[in-house]
Amino acid sequence: MKFQTMQHTARYLAPAMALVIAAGCDTSVTNPGPVQDEFLDSLNAHQAVVTGASRNLSDALDRIAYWGGALTYEINPAGSTGSFGIPSSVQAGRLELDFSADWKRVQLARWAAENAGERFARVLPDIAGAPAFASYGPAAEAALLAGYANRLFGENFCQVVFDGGGPEAFSVALIRAEAAFTQAASIASAAGETDVATAAQAGRASVLADLASYGLASWTDAAAAATGIANTFVHTANYSDQDQSQGNYIMIASPGLGTYRAHTTWGTFYEDYFRTTGDTRVAWVVDPAQPFGDAGVSKFGGNVTLLPQDKYNDPEDPINLSSGWEMRLIQAEAALQTAGGAAAAVGFMNQRRADLGLTALTVTTDAQAYTDLKLERALELWLEGRRLFDIRRWEANNISGGISDVRDGIYGTGTAGSGAAIGNETAVGVLDTQLTTLATNARCWLIGRSEVETNTGVSR
């Protein structure tokens, strides 16, 4: 039946139908309100609670990976500063108090995972036939998520606050992450969840390395935790292509299947590096139909060449949280803590380079091996939200020259605003003076304004 016929018929049926409905149906609606908290105590709800915490972590990670990538010049702005763009302040190297959304997302991810574990520990003893907490799969998953959320918190924020308390050093979140990973590994092993146990071991290795940089843990322990994790292992934060709000933020801000053209690898170290080496870890692509970003960028003097990242090319592409290749780099960095450790360190790094068909690194001095390590971490963890803390810890501890190493500089291969055809930009080959230098950029997010305005323990 065509719409017009249905509309015509409905004109006559409506009064009669109204009478029938009024006479035969109760049209009142009772709003059940929010789900009662005790409903989440049921075993049937526990996996959903964990899934929600996982989604919170994914949501927090990709925003921080995106803006952190801009701060460290893993990417450059190519246009819009609004939806899926890079804010003007971030383009200028600043992270401001008003960025409360990132603070809230990370806090939600941390709290949701930790609260899930606390809930499971509380209710399981009172449920007939329920597994013990120490061998309960969802408890292992919750602890794993708490570990990653706290790592994200500690690595990216200047100070941390927990549940209405006062400001604490970022390292407190990393220590908290290590405890959560340790718990996750124990529970997962007892529950027979091998992948979760391995991810927990890898996560623990990463935060031990973070803490060891500040003398708060042992590099020997970090390397031991990394040992035995296969090169091929990977654990990820997952995304969905069903709704834009659930997709990979970095990818959506890229062209192709993405909606926006807000960032580019043009003018970064990675542009020329990929052009000359073909290292797929930092791949970018060219689209002749979209040669420039979606708006002018003031600090570059206009439109810039669009060379979008190709690490993520679908909204549901995951972001690595841990990988076996990261573990080899932890072992390499641990080796460099001992004089004469260059050979062992280079051996670990060359495993990955051989896997990719890249030229092997040669063994020279410990200092050169450390510079190579910095490059390998920059390549392996590209756009995963890890670069900012690497720069922060190396600089704070004056590791092999801090940020003065060449590969921590930001180098361009094109002249801003030149309008030259893709691939024919004027090579500059030195630090691009039109770029804000990394030395002046923020190293970490501030406590969010939402926390400052609601927590009396945080000074205003």
**Which stretch of DSSP H or E encloses residue 322?**
strand 319-323
Whether 314 is in a domain gets the answer no
Number of domains, the chain: 1
With CA atoms as reference, report the closest residue to 319 among 50, 20, 74: 74
Q: Are 385 and 319 in contact (CB under 8 A)?
A: yes
pLDDT tens, position by position, 91-138: 888 898 777 899 999 999 999 999 999 999 999 999 999 999 999 999
Tokens at 206, concatenated:
């990463």
What's the pTM? 0.88
Tokens at 328, concatenated:
């080899």
Whether 255 is in a domain gets the answer no
For residue 70, give the CATH number of its domain.
1.25.40
pLDDT tens, position by position, 19-72: 333 445 555 656 666 777 888 989 999 999 999 999 999 999 999 999 999 998
Find the mean pLDDT for residues 408-415.
43
b/e map of 18-49 (b: 16 or more CB within 10 Å)?
Answer: eeeeeeeeeeeeeeeeeeeeeebbeeeebeeb
How far is it, in rounded angstroms, from Cα 458 to Cα 460?
A: 6
Whether 180 is in a domain gets the answer yes
- Whether 197 shows a pLDDT value over 60: the answer reads yes
pLDDT band of 316, cuts 50, 70, 90: very high
Whether 370 is in a domain gets the answer no
Whether 373 is in a domain gets the answer no
- Percentage, residues of the chain above pLDDT 70: 83
- Whether 3 shows a pLDDT value over 70: the answer reads no
Whether 157 is in a domain gets the answer yes
Whether 116 is in a domain gets the answer yes
Whether 86 is in a domain gets the answer yes
Q: State the residue range of the domain holding 199.
A: 46-240+444-454
What secondary structure letter does DSSP report for 237? E
